[in-house]
């Protein structure tokens, strides 16, 4: 049995004081951390219960929104401002987990959730993310759910989040407090590629705390969607998911944003496809070519080879659907 302490801080400063010794973990909904503790993957010396802190959703002067770190996923998905200004985010949340889990899970907890690679949870398996330097049993193992983009020789685990794919599309910013002050990190810089140190996943230091996630105003997001292909229609992680937003000038693509889930080691902003699409005429062939460009660097590991073609098709279909709605 692992001994641990439990503390419920009054505010952010109190929480940071509790995290200062590097032994603590913030606990919000517990929908991932408690599983990781049960599976003997995480062994915090202290649980710092931040579940009652920063639960509000506030407007920003530019028309954007500040999602408190402790705001529940279900509350964010139901918020009228989110549904009207950032429909892709509401859709992504509603495609994740179950209603019960969404009622518990927090924004910051979702940002920090860890991979569902089964070898990561299996103490008898080799896993560089859980035990650095031991190897990766997924690369030559059962890897149907694993990533094809952003992988390395050390790790091919897919990032599990739906919500964070929408955050990547929306150019969200992670607000962080810590003993060295406050700072903001763009979500697309927040996640590290695995490289040769897959155990280091984000830009967050062990003594820092996420306080909010900001969504800047984005008129393009008013016409956005989230499409997810999974093995069953509820409570399953993505095989491939696509967040997309499109702005047309007649039949020409004025602006476009695309982000991918289920296929990459982090929420994946599809910059190659976006750059190829701007200024192009709307057509299924143009969408398909852009999708092929984005997936050109993809590498399958056998069981997950199918994700490459599936991702091309889901990107093409999502853009086609948005273009149809825009005309």
Binding region for ligand SF4 (CB under 6 A):
115, 117, 119-120, 127-129, 136-138, 155-157, 198
Structural tokens at position 318? 């999502």
CB of 58 to ligand SF4, least distance (A): 36
Q: Which is nearer to ligand SF4, 136 or 169 (CB)?
A: 136
Q: Which is nearer to ligand SF4, 189 or 196 (CB)?
A: 196
Nearest to 151 by CA among 33, 268, 272: 268
CB of 203 to ligand SF4, least distance (A): 19
Structural tokens at position 295? 């997936």
Q: Which is nearer to ligand SF4, 152 or 280 (CB)?
A: 152
Q: Which is nearer to ligand SF4, 133 or 281 (CB)?
A: 133
Q: Which is nearer to ligand SF4, 41 or 212 (CB)?
A: 41
Nearest to 21 by CA among 275, 239, 231, 207: 207
27, 51 Cβ separation under 8 angstroms:
yes
CB of 147 to ligand SF4, least distance (A): 8
Q: Which is nearer to ligand SF4, 129 or 227 (CB)?
A: 129
Q: Which is nearer to ligand SF4, 132 or 281 (CB)?
A: 132
d(CA 79, CA 91): 12
CB of 127 to ligand SF4, least distance (A): 3
CB of 138 to ligand SF4, least distance (A): 4
CB of 123 to ligand SF4, least distance (A): 12
CB of 153 to ligand SF4, least distance (A): 10
Nearest to 248 by CA among 325, 136, 314, 173: 325
CB of 60 to ligand SF4, least distance (A): 36
Q: Which is nearer to ligand SF4, 94 or 136 (CB)?
A: 136
């Amino acid at each position: 049995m692992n001994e641990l302490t439990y503390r419920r801080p009054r505010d952010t400063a109190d929480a940071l004081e509790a995290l200062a010794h590097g032994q603590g973990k913030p606990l919000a909904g517990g929908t991932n951390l408690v599983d990781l503790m049960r599976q003997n993957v995480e062994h915090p010396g202290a649980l710092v219960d931040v579940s009652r802190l920063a639960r509000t959703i506030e407007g920003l002067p530019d028309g954007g929104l500040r999602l408190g770190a402790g705001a529940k996923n279900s509350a964010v998905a139901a918020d009228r401002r989110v549904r009207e200004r950032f429909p892709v985010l509401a859709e992504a949340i509603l495609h994740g987990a179950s209603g019960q889990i969404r009622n518990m899970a927090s924004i910051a907890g979702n940002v920090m959730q860890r991979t569902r690679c089964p070898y990561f949870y299996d103490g008898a398996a080799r896993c560089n993310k859980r035990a650095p330097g031991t190897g990766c049993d997924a690369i030559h193992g059962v890897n149907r759910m694993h990533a094809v983009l952003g992988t390395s020789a050390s790790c091919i685990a897919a990032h599990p989040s739906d919500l964070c794919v929408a955050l990547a599309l929306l150019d969200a910013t992670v607000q962080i407090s810590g003993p060295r002050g406050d700072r903001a990190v763009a979500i697309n810089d927040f996640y590290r590629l695995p490289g040769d140190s897959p155990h280091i996943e984000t830009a967050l230091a062990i003594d820092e705390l996420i306080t909010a996630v900001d969504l800047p105003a984005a008129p393009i997001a008013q016409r956005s969607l989230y499409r997810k292909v999974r093995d069953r229609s509820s409570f399953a992680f993505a095989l491939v998911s696509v967040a997309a937003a499109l702005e047309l000038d007649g039949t020409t693509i004025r602006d476009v944003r695309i982000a991918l889930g289920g296929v990459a080691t982090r929420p994946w902003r599809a910059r190659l496809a976006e750059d190829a699409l701007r200024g192009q005429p709307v057509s299924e062939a143009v969408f398909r070519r852009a999708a092929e460009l984005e997936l050109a660097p993809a590498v399958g590991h056998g069981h997950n080879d199918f994700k490459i073609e599936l991702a091309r098709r889901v990107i093409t279909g999502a853009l086609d659907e948005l273009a149809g709605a825009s005309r």
